[in-house]
Structure 1
Amino acid sequence: MTENRKLLGKLIVIATVMFGFAYALNPFYRQICEALGLNVLTQKDGVVAYDKNTQVDTSRTVTIEFDGNAQGPWRFRPTQASMTVHPGELNTVMYEVVNTQKRAMNAQAIPSYAPQNATPYFMKVECFCFQQQTLKASEARQMPVVFYIDPKLPREVKTITLSYTFFEIGGGLVKSAAVQ
């Protein structure tokens, strides 16, 4: 019985030391990161200072024009005609689609860019065009495109047009199980 109590005492001491070490590790880690300049959020005059995103080229702007075309029984359009962006800056535009049919339909959007030499510099982070869309009968939906323009875009490119063609896939009725 006394051996069990000794073992329990040792385990309590070990657990207490481990807790103390873990508790002290957080401020120690913060000081190391601050000294090395890693992942630092420092307070200056009561304001939290964040490192500036150096990937954004604020010295120039590019106008992005948006276009939507529908092949089939859809209403499809961007919610805004254009926006002015800085290369490297994250932006979002919404496209709206309405299924005008009394049946569910599968569809896909295919993008195109003008001028064509801008295509490799138009970087989409999130897009409805990445996957097939299923819309219920008479369903309306707003779908985002989150993108940025690579700062390596040639300086002579001042305007890029992003155009989507939205079309039905399969042409038949969608099974009711997929709609529900």
Structure 2
Amino acid sequence: MGIRNDNAKMVGKLAIVAAGMFGFGYAMIPIYRAICEATGVNILTLVERQVPGNGGIGRPSNTQVDESRTIVVEFDANSRGPWHFKPAQRSMKVHPGELSTVMYEFQNVQDRTMSAQAIPSYAPRQAGAYFNKLECFCFNQYELEPGQKKEWPVAFIIDPRISKDVTTITLSYTFFEVGAKPPPTPSSASAVTIVKGEVGA
């Protein structure tokens, strides 16, 4: 009987421990979300809130944003093939450290299905090291049916450590058909150079 009593006590203790661990794990989800909301470290949540169509939920403030500086980001689109590809807007003004989103529009105007991907480039060239894309259609290949239209976002943050001399950055994409010879990366030397002083949109 003593052994049975000991086993019963052990089972009871293990059940209590298991229940406690389950409760702790369940409670970690809202705790984690609360911490992420307060610190702004949950980048995926920030991206989801910034992308259009999220119900208009506001973005929490980011203490890393350098509001004393403004950088003009220009958007360029090139296509290697008979399809339409363009940004929804040509430029925007952003603060370093600020999460921003631009939409790009695509349409396959061919009479056949197309698999394609985009290659990004930056001007000035050194800006690429500070241009952090959190969401981008360039991460994947896409298949478009004949006449099909798509719209995809690019969510990005410019690292506040970027040189203060950089006031304009050009983000350029070349959209090419997968299976064809990939185009060479555009040279930033012939695009935009570092501009000093205030730059308009």
- Structure 1 segments of 4 or more deviating over 6 A? 23-26
TM-score calculated relative to the size of structure 2: 0.63
Looking at structure 1, the residues matched to 24 and 108 of structure 2 have their Cα atoms a distance apart, in angstroms, of 57
Name 1:176's counterpart in structure 2. none
Give the one of 126, 130, 135 matched to 1:126: 135
1:93 and 2:93 are equivalent in the alignment = no
Deviations 1:105-156 (A, max 9, x none): 1212121222223222111122211232221221111112121101111112
Alignment of 1:22-171 (within 5 A): 50-51=38-39, 53-170=62-179
Distance 1:14-1:164 versus aligned 2 partners, 3 A rule: same
RMSD (CA atoms): 3.2
Looking at structure 2, the residues matched to 99 and 19 of structure 1 have their Cα atoms a distance apart, in angstroms, of 55
Equivalences, count: 154
Which shows bigger deviation, 75-84 or 110-119? Answer: 110-119
* 3-state SS of 1:157 partner: coil
Runs of at least 5 residues in structure 1 that lack an aligned partner in the other structure: 30-38, 43-48, 172-180
Distance 1:123-1:17 versus aligned 2 partners, 3 A rule: closer
* 3-state SS of 1:10 partner: helix
Identical pairs, percent: 49
Looking at structure 1, the residues matched to 157 and 122 of structure 2 have their Cα atoms a distance apart, in angstroms, of 14
Name 1:32's counterpart in structure 2. none
Looking at structure 2, the residues matched to 159 and 121 of structure 1 have their Cα atoms a distance apart, in angstroms, of 13
Deviations 1:68-95 (A, max 9, x none): 1222111001112222111112222111
Looking at structure 2, the residues matched to 136 and 24 of structure 1 have their Cα atoms a distance apart, in angstroms, of 48
Name 1:45's counterpart in structure 2. none
Name 2:195's counterpart in structure 1. none
Distance 1:24-1:75 versus aligned 2 partners, 3 A rule: closer
More strand by share: 1
State the AA in 1 paired with 2:174: T
Looking at structure 2, the residues matched to 118 and 58 of structure 1 have their Cα atoms a distance apart, in angstroms, of 19
Distance 1:78-1:20 versus aligned 2 partners, 3 A rule: closer
Looking at structure 2, the residues matched to 130 and 113 of structure 1 have their Cα atoms a distance apart, in angstroms, of 16
State the 1:4 CA deviation: 6.5
Looking at structure 1, the residues matched to 15 and 113 of structure 2 have their Cα atoms a distance apart, in angstroms, of 62
